[in-house]
Amino acid sequence: MTFPRCAVVVLAAGEGTRMRSSTAKVLHPLGGRSLLGHALSTARSLRPDHLVVVVRHSRDDVAAHLAEIDPEALVADQDEVKGTGRAVWCGLQALPEDYDGTVVVTYGDVPLLGPQTLAGLVEAHTAAGAAVSVLVGEVPDPTGYGRVVRDADGAVLRIVEDRDAEEAERAIREINSGIYAFDGEFLRAGLAGMGTDNAQGEMYLTDILELARAKGAVIVATGTPDRFELEGVNDRVQLAAFGRELNRRLLESWMRSGVTVVDPASTWVDVDVRLAPDVTLLPGVQLRGDTRVETDAVIGPDTTLVDCEVAAGAHIVRSHALGARIGEGASVGPFSYLRPGTTLGPGGKIGGFVETKNAEIGEGSMVPHLSYVGDATIGAHVNIGAATVFVNYDGVRKHRTMVGDHARVGSDTMLVAPVTIGDGAYTAAGSVIDQDVPPGALGVARGRQRNVEGWVARRRPGSAAATAAERASAAGAATENGSAADAGEHREGTLRP
Ligand code: UD1
Ligand code: CA
């Protein structure tokens, strides 16, 4: 598609009182982007020469957000004169004085207007050589909207605001979306002579249509059957409805491209998420931000991933992950918490009730149960025993722990950083390791066990424990060679030096 040269003016100066929020309306998020972010993304699809955002309420917040998401956009401040007409006039002040391209006007609070619909409006405008073109359509409840007044032949005469409308005009169901394409010169001239003689004492941009009509210029109205493209978000009830609709559309498009979504009603994906074919999303999954999931991965149930990368064939069950990278065929969960900087190698495992942060876990390595792994570099094919803690914080600074390939850290080991466990080294269960363990060594750091024989009989006579012990020793005496444990046995997690 080739477009005429154009500038887009995005209106975002309104107060948005019905949101009842200390946050500017256009900064409220929807599907991982601000409302304004959605509007800008559609505006940018026209590849405009200039993009201007008109601001006033929460001006500094909006301008700061804009600098972040679209630094090239121009900011225009609306003065104290109210109305959409004045807003556009202020927006035009940010353009070069001799700018002669088409001027497109959109709203910062209309998040679901799609690039194709906007392009269609501009194309129709250009093809007809129109002075003004407007996007119109029907919504379930037209109350509050400007109505499109047509003559007997269907030609657009003007747009009348709800508050200025007569009974018969209020019955019109066709509304003005407020999205337009203008001949720049015509727009400038029209705005220059615009008044505020109406029920709200505002400069109505819609007055331009009557002017065009009076001058015999061409007016085009293009329609869309999709009410979500026409409507803006005014309150939080609408915000939720638009969020649900956006999500429904995103999921539908992912399903058509080969993603299994078991329960679309409980699955939420942000606009920038990318999913490969044959990904499966189980119920209760939220994929947010810049999350990418490769083929054959299974996510959920009940899992939230924010800015994560999940490689092919990985499984993540009932977990919460931020800024984590999960390797091919790796598994996570249930009930684990992966914080930024976590990378899990191919075939690795982060099991149940594990928290990780800034942790590189190598290929085939496992942290199967109940551990905290913070500021760690763990090699390949390592096993971290249950309830191990990487003690990374001395109260002032964070320190790193290194664990070499094929090392086996015994259950309930405290690894007091900075510390290094060499390749193929072991630690004994229950050790507090604060010195390096060389490759192949066993690090042991715990008190030796001592059994005080007959203690229960002496100190807890007559207790249930004493009775049980008595019974056991009687039985032991009866079978003589009974069940004495093999004191030399080495079981994993209970290593003895
Ligand atoms: C406007 C239209 C109405 C249309 C409706 C669609 C006019 C006179 N009326 O209604 O025909 O059906 O939009 O939603 O144009 N804004 C500013 N500065 C202002 C006023 C508004 O930037 O002084 C911005 C708002 O931030 C918002 C948009 O313009 O993004 C529309 O404002 P809103 O007050 O919702 O619309 P109305 O003027 O009531
Ligand atoms: Ca509105």
Q: Is 315 a catalytic residue?
A: no
- Label residue 37 left, alpha or beta by phi (over 0 means left) and psi (-120 to 50 means alpha): alpha
Short-list 361, 415, 406, 384, CA closest to 492: 384
Mean of the pLDDT values across residues 405-426? 98
Atom of ligand 1 nearest to the CA of 25: 26
With a 6 Å cutoff on the Cβ, whether 88 touches ligand 1 is no
Closest ligand relative to 201 C-alpha: 1
Is residue 13 within 8 A of residue 87, CB to CB? The reply is yes
pLDDT score of 478 more than 60: yes
pLDDT in tens, 210-222: 999 999 999 999 9
Residue 206 alpha carbon to ligand 2 centre in Å: 14
Ligand 1 centre and the CA of 314: distance in Å? 48
| One-letter amino acid for residue 166 of the chain | E
Query: Does residue 408 sit in helix, strand or coil?
Result: strand
The number of beta carbons lying within 10 Å of the beta carbon of residue 475 is 11
- Residue 392 CA to residue 400 CA, distance in Å, equals 6
Alpha-carbon gap, residue 59 to 66, rounded angstroms: 10
Query: Which tokens go with 333?
Result: 């969960």
Instruction: Give the residue, by CA position, lying nearest to ligand 1 atom 16.
Output: 14
Buried b (16+ CB within 10 A) or exposed e, 315-335: bbbbbbbbbbbbbbbbbbbee
126-151 pLDDT tens trace: 999 999 999 999 999 999 999 999 99
Render the burial of 143-166: b for 16+ CB within 10 Å, e for the rest: eebbbbbeeeeeebebbbbeebbe
CB count within 10 Å of CB 342 equals: 27
Which position among 28, 38, 50, 369 bears the catalytic label? Answer: 369
CB-neighbour burial class of residue 382 (10 A; exposed 0-12, middle 13-18, buried 19+): buried
226-265 pLDDT, tens digit each: 999 999 999 999 999 999 999 999 999 999 999 999 999 9
Q: Is 165 in the pocket of ligand 1 (CB under 6 A)?
A: no
pLDDT at 291 over 90: yes
319, two tokens: 């977990």
